[in-house]
Structure 1
Amino acid sequence: MKFVIQRDQLIASVQNVMKAISSRTVIPILTGIKIEARQDGITLTGSDSDISIESYIPAEENGNVNIEQIEEGSIVLQAKYFPDIVRKLPEKTIEIHSDENLKVTIRSGKAEFNLNGQDAGEYPQLPKLQTDDSFELPIDLLKSLIKQTVFAVSTMETRPILTGVNMKLENQTLTFSATDSHRLASRTIPVSEANNEFSNVVVPGKSLNELNKILDDTEEKVEISVTSNQILFRTKHLNFLSRLLDGNYPETSRLIPDQSKTVLYVKTKELLSTIDRASLLAKEERNNVVRLTTQGNQLVEIASNHPEVGNVTEEVSITSMEGEELKISFSSKYMMDALKAIEYDEVKIEFTGAMRPFIIRPANEDSILQLILPVRTY
């Protein structure tokens, strides 16, 4: 195998596939990066058997030549050394060459590295997903679906299914939802060209966080294909494959109250910064609890107290309020996470009493929903 490649292109691809490589894997060859050269370009692969990432660099694109002098072949190189070597090479182009004894030479300018490679034939084959049932989304839309839900997944392994985000496609509507059983985050979008339906697809939160980092904020599309135990996100130069979590995701729709007793409309940023200040005195072990009390005349009071430290109260003006007066306590962290995820200037908060879950949505938009369970304080 041999090729000469632009260094910057190689660095970007290496950084992408490194996100799937773990030093703690039980399969030794998976600590390496697989490099495969063909006449049309080279493909790098990284995997930890939960996530697999393939990054493709075309030999030529839009009239620019990325790779020259290609002799086909493949090799696996140690991920512990190869990325640092590539990053620190002196020139803009790099020549990589491997012989039949799996010895690899990396040259750039006056620098030359000789590495021992591993046989690419021993690298596990990535499953080729049948993509009859795939559908497409704009990348920026997928990223906001992830951002508005993934923070609410559980970090506790006691219920592994809750460490993932549930994807549901029904009646040409795609729903992402995540819950750690104290809160719920969900977002729904229409997907007109999707013909298939699925309901119990649960993608590990870790996979979605990595995918979110890798995808460029462009208008380009990402193709999504789902099988019984894996999901593939495919863009022009990237295949991102993740296993799905086993088990049945709980039915979250019954958590959502269908009527409310108190409804507040309030500016998102003002409420967020007030709760942020109040949480400064809410100590960690008490779940960072703050208290919200309606004050009639277009005001609510946000307060927190810590017996040993002191207390804080601050009033926030609200746009409007409907229904009865209310006093309720909740985790400031959960509330701040929810408000940050809603990228709208004004939110509508619907309460059904002091001990019932309450709902936060953008003021004029029903597709985004955050639900939080209050905290009992005596």
Structure 2
Amino acid sequence: MHFVIDKDQLVQSVQDVMKAVSSRTTIPILTGIKIVAHDEGITITGSDSDISIERFIPIEEDDKQYVEVQRMGSIVLQARFFADIVKKLPASQVEIEVLERLTTRIRSGASEFNLNGLDPEEYPRLPEIAEENLFSIQADLLKQIIRQTVFAVSTSETRPILTGVNWRMEDGRLTCVATDSHRLAMRHATIESNTADLKFSNVVIPGKSLSELSKIIDDGNELIDIVVTENQILFKAKNILFYSRLLDGNYPDTSRLIPDESKTDVVLSTKKFLQAIERASLLAREGRNNVVKLVSLESKNMEISSNSPEIGKVFEHVEAQSFEGDEVKISFSAKYMMDALKAIDSADVVVSFTGAMRPFLIRPINEDSIVQLILPVRTY
């Protein structure tokens, strides 16, 4: 194998596939990345067997030449060393050539490295996915869906299924739900591509996979093709294939958790409410579980307070834009509330309470595509 490649394209591609490479893998060859030179360009692959990312660099695109392939072939190189080397190479062009016994020479400007390569035949093949269950979604909408749900997945392995986000598709409507059993984030999106016959109900994508995917897809209205199978999901963007395994097991039925009615509805400025919670949490952080208390006062005033016996007390007041229903007295995790408010892209939110020890909802005003639910904390 022998080729010359544009350094910027190489660096970007290596950084993308590195997101799938783990140093803790039990399969030694997966600590490397696979590079294949063929007649259309260069394909670079990284995998940890849960996530696999394949990046393609075409010979030329938009009248720019990126690659000159002099001899086709393939090699696997130690990912950590190769990534560090290409980032620091001095010239705008990089020459990579595989010599005898898999030794790989990397030249750029006055620099030359010789890396010991691994046998590419030993590198696991990417899964072959039949594109039957396929739909498309705009890149910016996909990133938004991930941002508004993935933070609520569980970080505990005691219930592995909750470390993922549940995706359901029915009648062209995609519903994404994440919960760690103390809070829940739900996002609906209408998918306009050919989804009339498409239906899947129990696809659970690891939160880690979605977080990494979000980092490598560009903002914009480019369409991402998504292919769903029994145990794999494939995201196809321009020059990128992103595979993730799906989590085994049945996701709990979360529809029962969301209250149908409320006793109190409060409309607040998202920004002012978030800032007040952030300030109150400065003391709550030190106390148990980062808990703040919310109490309704006279004339639409809401009091947010936190009491940490060793440090002190804090009181914040936020005026509600409207207040309907019973008075409120409730305690909750400041972190959960801040996460929920940051996920909502709306100037105002409506917070709906159903009782001091019942879950409450946070939603954008006049918008039903996103729902955040938080379970209160019992305080005495």
TM-score, with length taken from structure 2 = 0.98
Distance apart, 1:229 and its partner CA: 0.6
Looking at structure 2, the residues matched to 354 and 245 of structure 1 have their Cα atoms a distance apart, in angstroms, of 35
Distance apart, 1:105 and its partner CA: 1.1
Match of 2:129 in 1: 129
Per-residue deviation, residues 249-286 of structure 1 (Å, max 9, x unmatched): 00001000001000000000000000111111114452
Per-residue deviation, residues 163-194 of structure 1 (Å, max 9, x unmatched): 00111111110011100000000100111222
Distance apart, 1:114 and its partner CA: 1.4
Match of 2:248 in 1: 246
Amino acid at match of 1:197: K
Looking at structure 2, the residues matched to 282 and 103 of structure 1 have their Cα atoms a distance apart, in angstroms, of 57
Match of 1:267 in 2: 269
Q: Return the match for 2:351 from 327, 349, 352.
A: 349
Once the two structures are superposed, the pairs formed by residues 209-288 of structure 1 within 5 Å of their partners are 209-288=211-290
Match of 1:368 in 2: 370
Distance apart, 1:218 and its partner CA: 2.2
Distance apart, 1:101 and its partner CA: 2.6
Looking at structure 2, the residues matched to 339 and 276 of structure 1 have their Cα atoms a distance apart, in angstroms, of 11
Amino acid at match of 1:34: K
- Give SS of 1:148's match: helix
Distance apart, 1:296 and its partner CA: 3.2
TM-score, with length taken from structure 1 = 0.98
- Give SS of 1:211's match: helix
Looking at structure 1, the residues matched to 63 and 218 of structure 2 have their Cα atoms a distance apart, in angstroms, of 22
- Is residue 54 of structure 1 aligned with residue 54 of structure 2? yes
Match of 2:303 in 1: 301
4+ runs deviating over 3 angstroms: none
Match of 2:291 in 1: 289
Distance apart, 1:315 and its partner CA: 1.0
Distance apart, 1:220 and its partner CA: 0.9
Per-residue deviation, residues 10-56 of structure 1 (Å, max 9, x unmatched): 00000000111111111111111100011111000000001000001
- Give SS of 1:86's match: helix
Looking at structure 1, the residues matched to 292 and 222 of structure 2 have their Cα atoms a distance apart, in angstroms, of 42
Looking at structure 2, the residues matched to 129 and 285 of structure 1 have their Cα atoms a distance apart, in angstroms, of 50
Distance apart, 1:247 and its partner CA: 0.6
Per-residue deviation, residues 202-238 of structure 1 (Å, max 9, x unmatched): 0111111111111111221111111111111111110
Match of 1:101 in 2: 101
Distance apart, 1:71 and its partner CA: 1.9
Once the two structures are superposed, the pairs formed by residues 142-161 of structure 1 within 5 Å of their partners are 142-161=142-161
- Give SS of 1:80's match: helix
Unaligned 5+ runs, structure 2: none
Looking at structure 1, the residues matched to 2 and 172 of structure 2 have their Cα atoms a distance apart, in angstroms, of 47
Looking at structure 2, the residues matched to 6 and 13 of structure 1 have their Cα atoms a distance apart, in angstroms, of 11
Match of 2:40 in 1: 40
Unaligned 5+ runs, structure 1: none
- Give SS of 2:218's match: coil
Give the RMSD, CA atoms, in angstroms. Answer: 1.0
Distance apart, 1:80 and its partner CA: 2.3
Amino acid at match of 1:35: I
Distance apart, 1:100 and its partner CA: 5.1
Amino acid at match of 2:71: E
Looking at structure 2, the residues matched to 69 and 46 of structure 1 have their Cα atoms a distance apart, in angstroms, of 21
- Cα pair 1:296 1:325 within 8 Å, conserved: no
Match of 2:336 in 1: 334
- Cα pair 1:36 1:44 within 8 Å, conserved: yes
